[in-house]
């Protein structure tokens, strides 16, 4: 498996998650009124500042993020634990609380830009994944990868092997 960024891994691999638990946090926004740039642009910029802060401080618990942009944006974030995510979200010295306050003051529930999130606590044995002909992605990027062979060749056996771990 290549260590080069964005290098295509041409074998079937699965994520090498050895922890008992991790968190998948989906977060995004929806631009309801495209012409209201003054409403949605600050939301987008605030997310950029938060991601930069998390990149600069790996000890805060964010392992990896994947992003897609459009009228509705989505970020899939992989966190070490729910506690790490919650601690970041409520820390008065971090970017998130001021951004949330600014959103509520400027936008609130006026219907011009939507925000959303969903949080999933995942336990060993409650997930499986496979990647083929992909650069590092998702859980495999967050936790590293191993060949999807032997006990990891099929979805059911990947689930079972994680249950046993």
**For the chain, what are the domain ranges?**
13-19+124-164, 21-121
163 by Cβ neighbours in 10 Å (0-12 / 13-18 / 19+) ranks as: exposed
CB neighbours of residue 13 within 10 Å: 23
Spatial distance between the Cα atoms of 151 and 156, rounded to a whole number of angstroms: 9
Check whether 111 has a pLDDT greater than 90: no
Across the chain, the runs of DSSP E, i.e. the strands, are 13-15, 21-31, 62-68, 74-79, 113-123, 145-147
Report helix, strand or coil for 31: strand
Comparing 137 with 103, which gets the higher pLDDT?
A: 137
- For residues 116 and 52, is the Cβ–Cβ distance under 8 A? no
Spatial distance between the Cα atoms of 52 and 50, rounded to a whole number of angstroms: 5
Check whether 104 has a pLDDT greater than 80: no
Region 75-84: mean pLDDT is 96
Spatial distance between the Cα atoms of 130 and 16, rounded to a whole number of angstroms: 11
The pTM of the whole model exceeds 0.75? yes
Region 122-132: mean pLDDT is 92
Please give the C-alpha separations between residue 125 and each of 27, 38, 88, 108, in angstroms, as whole numbers: 24, 45, 27, 39
CATH topology classification for 21-121: Alpha-Beta Plaits (3.30.70)
């Amino acid at each position: 498996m290549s260590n080069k960024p964005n290098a295509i891994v041409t074998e079937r691999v699965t994520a090498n998650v050895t922890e008992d638990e991790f968190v998948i946090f989906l977060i995004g926004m929806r631009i309801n009124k495209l012409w209201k740039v003054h409403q949605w642009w600050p939301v987008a910029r605030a997310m950029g500042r938060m991601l930069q802060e998390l990149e600069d401080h790996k000890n805060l618990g964010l392992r990896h993020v994947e992003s897609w942009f459009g009228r509705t944006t989505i970020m899939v974030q992989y966190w070490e634990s729910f506690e790490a995510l919650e601690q970041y979200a409520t820390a008065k010295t971090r970017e998130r609380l001021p951004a949330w306050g600014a959103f509520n003051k400027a936008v609130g529930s006026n219907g011009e830009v939507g925000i959303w999130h969903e949080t999933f606590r995942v336990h060993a044995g409650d997930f499986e994944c496979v990647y083929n002909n992909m650069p590092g992605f998702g859980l495999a990027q967050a936790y590293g990868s191993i060949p999807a062979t032997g006990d990891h060749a099929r979805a059911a056996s990947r689930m079972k092997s994680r249950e046993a771990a």
